[in-house]
Copies of this chain bind each other. A is one copy, B any other.
Amino acid sequence: MTELLNNREHKKEELKKLILRIHNGEDVNTLKEEFRQVLSGISPLEIPIVEQELVKEGVSAKDIAKMCDLHVELFRESVAGTDELEERDLPDGHPLKTLYAENKEIMKDAEMLNLYARTLASTKDERMGKEILGVLEELISDLRGVGFTHYNREEMLIFPYIERRGLTAIATVLWTKHDEIRFMIKHFAELLKRKNELPWDEFTSRLVEKGGKLSFALSDMVFRENNIYYPTLKALLTDGEWKAIREQEEEMGFYKVNPPAWDPGEDVKPLHPWEIDPELSVEQLLGLPKEVQQALKGKPLEFDKSELKREGDVDMGTGYMNVEELRAVFEALPVDVTFIDRDDRVRFFSPGERIFDRTLSVLGRPVQLCHPPKSVHIVNRILRAFKEGRKSEATFWLHLGPKYVYIKYVPLFDKGGNYMGTLEMTMDIAEYRKIEGEKRLLDWRVEVKRETT
C-alpha cells in the first residue's frame, strides 16, 4: 500500500512537470509519448484520483482537461485483447468482425462511464467535478450512436436473415433489450442536463446508480452478442449474405470503427433475405451455440419461404410491385405528379383527385402546348436550364382558395447522367402549416380511445 502510494506520488510529480510544460506552451501531442509512459504505471481507476490531487495543488483544470484524451486512450489499451478468439479467423471488413470490433469500443465506453460517474460522486473539488461532467457528457453523446449504428445495423440488416430461418425470438429479445438500453442512454443524458437543478449529492448518487445500470446493460449486451448471437450468425450466414450486408452497412455507419472494403469474391452473388434458402442444414444446426440449440429443442423452426417477386411484378430496384399497386400508390400520394419526357411530351400524370386537372388527352402532348401561350417562353427557359444542367429545380407557390399550392419542377437523369425528362410535383401545403407539437406512434391509442367514448 505504501509502495502504491509512493508510486502514485512519484507519478503525480512527473505529471505535474508535464502539465507545467503544456501550460508553458508545449503542444500536448508532442508530449504524448512522455505522458503515456508516466500514465502507464497508474491504473486507469487511479487516474481521476491523481487528477483530483493535482487540482487541489493548484494545477489548472484547463491544463488537466488536455490530458483527458490520453486517459481514454490508455484505458482502451488496458482493456484491449478480449474477444480476440472469435475474430481471429475473420477477414478485415467482414461485417461480423466489425461487430466484434464495435463491441470492444462499446465495452470500453460503458466501463468509462461507470468509472467517471463514481469518481464524480467521490470528488469534492468543483473544478475537477466540472471536468468529469464534461467527459461524461461526451461519453453519453457518443453512446447514443450505438443505437443508430451498431444496434440499427443488426436490427435492419442482419435480423431479417435469422427471421427467415425461423429464429425470430432471438431478434425480438435482442431488439427489446436494445431499446431498453436506448432509453437508459437517453435518460442518463437527460439527468446530466439537470446538474444545476438537483442538490449535488442527489445528482451524483443518481448518476452513479443510472450509470452503473447502463454500464451493466451495455456490457451484458456485448456479452450476449459475442457469446450467443454472433456465433449463431457465424454458423448460419453464407458469404453471399455477408456480402449483401456489407454493401448496405456504410449507409447506417459504425460505432468508432472504420472497416475497410470486403468482398468474398466477384463470383459470390450478394444474397438478400428473400433470396436465401431458409432451411437449416445439419451442419448449420450443429454449429449453433449450445444455448441456441437448447432453445430450439422441441420446437420446429418455422422457416419463412414466402416469395417476394410475383408474376407480372415490376422490378423497381428497391422492391417489386404490380401495376395495380403502383397506380394506387400514385393515387394515394399527397403530391400530384406529371412527368414529361426528354422530348418535352407529357408521358404520365398521377391519377385521382388533383389540384390541377389532368385528362388523358394531354398524354403525348408537347408541354409547350399545355401552357397558356403567354407563359410558354418561361417553360422553355426552365427546361433549357434543366437540360443544360444550370438548374436542378424550380419552385413556385400560390394561394388557391383555402389551398396553399406548392409546385416543384426537377429534371430527371438516367444513370449515365443523360436527361430523361422533367417531373412536376404539386401539393397543397396548407395543412402542414397548421400542425403543432408532436404526435408519435405510441400516441395512437389515445386517439382511438377518444373517438370511441
Contacts and interface: CB of A to CB of B under 8 A. Distances in A.
- Tell me which of A324, A327, A413 has the highest count of chain B C-beta atoms within 10 A of its own C-beta: A327
Contacts of A412: 325, 328-329, 332
B308 A325 contact: no
A234 interface: no
A311 to B, nearest CB: 14
Contact of A394 (B314, B357, B444): B444
A194 to B, nearest CB: 21
A272 B363 contact: yes
A157 to B, nearest CB: 5
Given A359-B248, A406-B432, A397 B439 contact: yes
A318 interface: yes
Contacts of A427: 334
Contacts of A272: 360-361, 363
> Which residue among A316, A366, A427 has the maximum number of chain B CB atoms within 10 Å of its CB?
A316
Contact of A248 (B158, B306, B360, B381): B360
Number of copies: 2
Given A176-B374, A316-B348, A252 B361 contact: no
Contacts of A314: 314, 323, 326
Tell which of A163, A335, A345, A359 has the most Cβ of chain B within 10 Å. A359
B349 A339 contact: no
A358 interface: yes
A40 interface: no
A351 B334 CA distance: 18
Contacts of A360: 244, 248, 272, 318
Given A394-B444, A444-B378, A362 B160 contact: yes
Nearest to A308: B364
Contact of A347 (B321, B406, B420): B321
Contact of A348 (B318, B362, B440): B318
A361 B323 contact: no
A376 B438 CA distance: 20
Contacts of A265: none
A173 B425 CA distance: 29
Contacts of A441: 375, 378-379, 396
A295 interface: no
Given A357-B252, A412-B329, A414-B324, A429 B435 contact: yes
Given A316-B323, A448-B381, A361 B432 contact: no
A294 to B, nearest CB: 22
Contacts of A448: 381, 385
Given A251-B357, A325-B339, A442 B378 contact: yes
Contacts of A395: 439
Q: Which of A157, A306, A325, A414 has the most CB of B within 10 A?
A: A325
A321 B337 contact: no
A361 B273 contact: yes
A175 B374 CA distance: 9
A348 B321 contact: yes
20 contacts: A156-B361, A160-B362, A168-B369, A272-B361, A272-B363, A274-B363, A274-B364, A306-B345, A308-B364, A316-B327, A318-B327, A318-B363, A325-B412, A329-B412, A333-B333, A334-B427, A335-B335, A378-B444, A381-B445, A433-B433
